Amino acid sequence: MQVYFDNAATTALDQEVIEAMVKTLNENFGNPSSIHAHGRESKTIVEKARRTVAKLLNASPSEIFFTSGGTEADNMAIVRAIEGNGISHAITSPLEHHAVLHTLEELAHAGKIHLDLLRVDSKGNIDLNHLEELLAKNPRTFVSIMHANNELGNLTDIKRVSLLCEQYNAIFHSDTVQTMGHYPHDLSDLKIDFITGAAHKFHGPKGVGFLYINGRNKIKPLIYGGAQERNMRGGTENVYGIVGLAKALELAYAEMEEHRNYIQSLKDYMKAKLEENIPNVRFNGETDADKSLYTVLNVSLPCTKMGDMLLFNLDIKGVSASGGSACSSGSDIGSHVLRGIGADGTRPSVRFSFCKFNTKAEVDFVVDILKEICTSEEKVEA
């Protein structure tokens, strides 16, 4: 059996997304910037996709800008919002995705901002009281806090964050890459300046994403070279990818509740099976349904001698997953997220992430392999 439990990294394309993209590949090759008929057809397709995304998010089409993915969208929001508004102070979490953390650290290293990192607890929860303390001391701040952590799955109450940012006149950006297509985002209700999405996290194609820019914000492009995306992003639009993104998000919203219930049941089932079969198994981050992304389960295993070989052994047996340790090992510096919560560096951790295509039979298969690996280590030690 081949099992893919790495859906937080990327997801398989939905068949309807493939069909929509193939139709566009076959029929619409014109450059959307061209004024002739072929170009106008492609331009119409791009704008239809933009309207679809905007409607699902309860935003204006003029607030949606297509990018090459979540990383570019994060960089664009962070760099241009800070530079364009003369901001000298930023706040983020030490557990952010590197697309956010490294970008802010680079700005701080260049002397453009002072960067404060929020306190987090051993479960990976962000201290929002600390956020308010920092906001009160530093008027006109840039805040970037992700909706769900990509390694632990912890959810942050970004509505509460948005209200704090509004109260202290701060600019708020949230990396919503892991929750886009999995949770509803009502941008008419959420007081937020920027959010980001990447199609391949919700069964769309790789290499395409979007940035939402609240209409009250005016920033400059990150990429120059043309007047595409209403002068906000130079470069010919990825028409086929944009079509796939819009179709994937449309399907995700239509099936959201059904898939959430199903995938949550898989996560709960795997947690229970692991606890039943592997003594001293632990879980990194929150696991309660109301505090954790239902697609992610981060498991800390007692097979301490396995180390970095755990993922290799899973791969050999047909299981694709992600993971790491809290400590450094050779050229591998380990997971900054696990280090950030003070995870036990002697225990290997694996992130299993699920989607609508996974099954309980696959969970059973993986748990049996993990049990065999841990049992084998115990026998060797004995």
Quick check: 263 and 294 in contact, CB under 8 A? yes
Per the annotation, the verdict on 355 as an active-site residue is: no
Residue carrying structure tokens 């701060």: 170
Q: Is the Cα torsion angle 289, 337, 191, 252 positive or negative in sign?
A: negative
Cα gap 95→78, rounded to integer Å: 17
Which tokens go with 370?
Answer: 């993990």
Cα gap 291→279, rounded to integer Å: 25
Q: What is the dihedral of CA 39, 41, 42, 46, to 10 degrees?
A: 130
Reduce the DSSP state of residue 188 to 3 states and report it: coil
115, containing H or E segment: strand 114-117
Cα gap 147→155, rounded to integer Å: 6
Residue carrying structure tokens 């301490």: 304
Which tokens go with 185?
Answer: 């985002």
Q: Which residues contact 207 (CB under 8 A, 6 or more apart)?
A: 68, 69, 200, 238, 241
Cα gap 21→200, rounded to integer Å: 14
DSSP collapsed to 3 states, 309-323: HHHHHHHHCCEECEE
Q: Which residues contact 44 (CB under 8 A, 6 or more apart)?
A: none
- DSSP one-letter code for 204: S
Cα distances from 73 to residues 80, 122, 193, in angstroms, run 11, 30, 13
Which tokens go with 8?
Answer: 């937080």
193, containing H or E segment: none
Instruction: Considering the candidates 303, 327, 355, 374, report the single residue annotated as catalytic.
Output: 327
Cα gap 202→124, rounded to integer Å: 24
What's the length of the chain?
Answer: 382
Catalytic residue numbers read 327
